[in-house]
Structure 1
Amino acid sequence: MIKIIFSIILGYLLGSIPFALVIGKVFYKTDIRQSGSGNLGGTNAGRILGKKAGIAVIVCDVLKVVLAFGLASLVSEVAAILTGLACCIGHCYPIFANFKGGKAVSTIFGFLLSCAIFVFQDPWYFAGPFLMFFLVLYLFKYVSLASICGALYSSIFITSEQFILKMEPIIIIICSWLMTLLVIYRHKENMKRIKEGCENKISWM
C-alpha cells in the first residue's frame, strides 16, 4: 500500500510539470498564461508560440504520463492505473503552477498509450480514440469537441472490452470514466462557446 501511495504522489508531481510554461519561458521568453486562452496545454502553446512548440508540449505531456505509468507498473497494475489518473489530475491542477493547468487531452492520450503498452498490450486502446479524435477534428474543426469525443470513445471501448473479455481489474473502467469526466469538465467553457458559435476552429485541416 505504501508503494502504491508513493506511486500516486509521484504521478501527481510528474503530471504537475507544466511543460507549456517551461518551454514558453525557456525557449520563447513568453508566459503563455498571459495570452490566448491562458491554458497550459499544447493547443494554446501552438497558438501562441507556433506549431513546433505546440507539438513539443504535447509530446512532453504525453511522455510524462507514460513515464509515471511505466514506473508505477513495476509496483503493480493497479498502482500504474491509479498513477496515470493522478498524473492527469496533476496536469489539470499542477502544484507547480498555482493549480491552473491544462485540459487533460494530451495526458489522457498518454494514459491510453500507457494502457496499450503496459496493461493490454493492444495498440487499439490508443489508436481507436486517436482516430476518433482526428475524425471529429476533420469534420467539425473543434479541438475541444474532438477531445471530448476521443475521451468518450476510449471509455466506452475500455468498458465494453472489459465486460466482454471479463478482464481485471475493474479499476481501469473507473479511472477511464473519471478521466473522461475530467476532460468534459475542463472543456465546459469550450462547449458553451460552440453552442454560441464563437469557439475557435482550426485552420490547418
Structure 2
Amino acid sequence: MSLIVLIIACTIAAYLLGSIPTAIWYGEAYFGIDVRKHGSGNAGATNTFRVLGKRAGTVVLLIDAIKGWVATSIALMMYYGHLIGWEECQNLKLLFGFAAVLGHIFPVFSNFKGGKGVATLLGMVMSVHPEAALVCMVIFFLVFISFNYVSLGAIIASLSFPILLLLKAFGPENTLVIVFGFLLFGMIVITHRKNIVRLIKGQESKISLRSKKA
C-alpha cells in the first residue's frame, strides 16, 4: 500500500471514528431516549448534560474527547511505525483530527446531524499540543463556573488555543498549527452561531455544576 493510499484510508477511518454518535447511542441504550428530541435537540455532550444528567453527560464528553484524541494520534502510530517523519506526523495530526471533528459534526451514522464538535476538538488538541490544551481546559472551566454558559466557555477556550501558541512559553510552534487553530475557532463560532445570538439577547440556557435543591 502506497503512503498516499494509507493516508486517505486513515483520514476516512478518522472521520468514521468521529462519526460515532455517542450521545445518541448512549441515550438510547441506557435511557431509551433520543437526546435529539429533547433539550436543544443537539447530539452532543452539553445537551446530554441537560437532558440525561451529569453522569451521562460526563460519559459522553469523555468518549467524544477520546474519539478526537485517538483519531489524531493515528499519525503518531504512523510515525512510530517509521512510515513518516516528525514534521509529516504533526501535519497529519491536523488532517486526521479535523476529519474526526467533521465526523462528529456531520456523522454518517446519524444522517449527518451531530454535535458541535467541542469535545472531539478537545481530544484533537490534546494530541496536537497537550500543554496548550490543558490551559484551554482551565480557561473553559473558569468561564463556565463564572457564567454557567457552556457555549461561552467553548468559544473562548477555542480562541485561546491558537493565541497560546503565539506565546514563547508554548513555542516555537509550527505556523500551520497556529493557522489551523484559528480556522478551528472559526468553525466553533459557526457551529455556535445560534448560541452567540442567544448570548447577545440574554436568552442562552445556563447549566450549573451544583445540584439543585429540592
Q: Structure 1-normalised TM-score?
A: 0.89
Q: Which residue of 2 aligns with 1:77?
A: 90
In the TM superposition, residue 4 of structure 1 has moved relative to its aligned partner by 2.0
SS of 2:51's equivalent in the other structure is helix
Q: Deviations over 1:153-179 (max 9, x none)?
A: 0121124459952x43x3322322222
**Quick check: which has more Rg, 1 or 2?**
2
In the TM superposition, residue 145 of structure 1 has moved relative to its aligned partner by 0.6
Q: Is the 1:88–1:179 Cα contact (8 Å) retained in structure 2?
A: no
Output the amino acid matched with 1:72: A
Aligned residue pair count: 197
Output the amino acid matched with 1:171: L
Q: Which residue of 2 aligns with 1:96?
A: 109
Matched, 1:189 2:194: yes
SS of 2:77's equivalent in the other structure is coil
Q: Which residue of 2 aligns with 1:120?
A: none
Q: Is the 1:82–1:175 Cα contact (8 Å) retained in structure 2?
A: no
Q: Which residue of 2 aligns with 1:172?
A: 177
Gaps of 5+ in 2: 79-88
Output the amino acid matched with 1:181: G
In 1, the alpha carbon distance for the partners of 2:170 and 2:21 equals 36
C-alpha distance 174-11 of structure 1, shift in aligned 2 (>3 A): farther
SS of 1:64's equivalent in the other structure is helix
In the TM superposition, residue 3 of structure 1 has moved relative to its aligned partner by 2.2
Gaps of 5+ in 1: 117-122
C-alpha distance 184-52 of structure 1, shift in aligned 2 (>3 A): same
Q: Structure 2-normalised TM-score?
A: 0.86
Matched, 1:87 2:87: no
* Equivalent residue for 2:164, pick from 157, 169, 193: 157
Q: Which residue of 1 aligns with 2:47?
A: 44
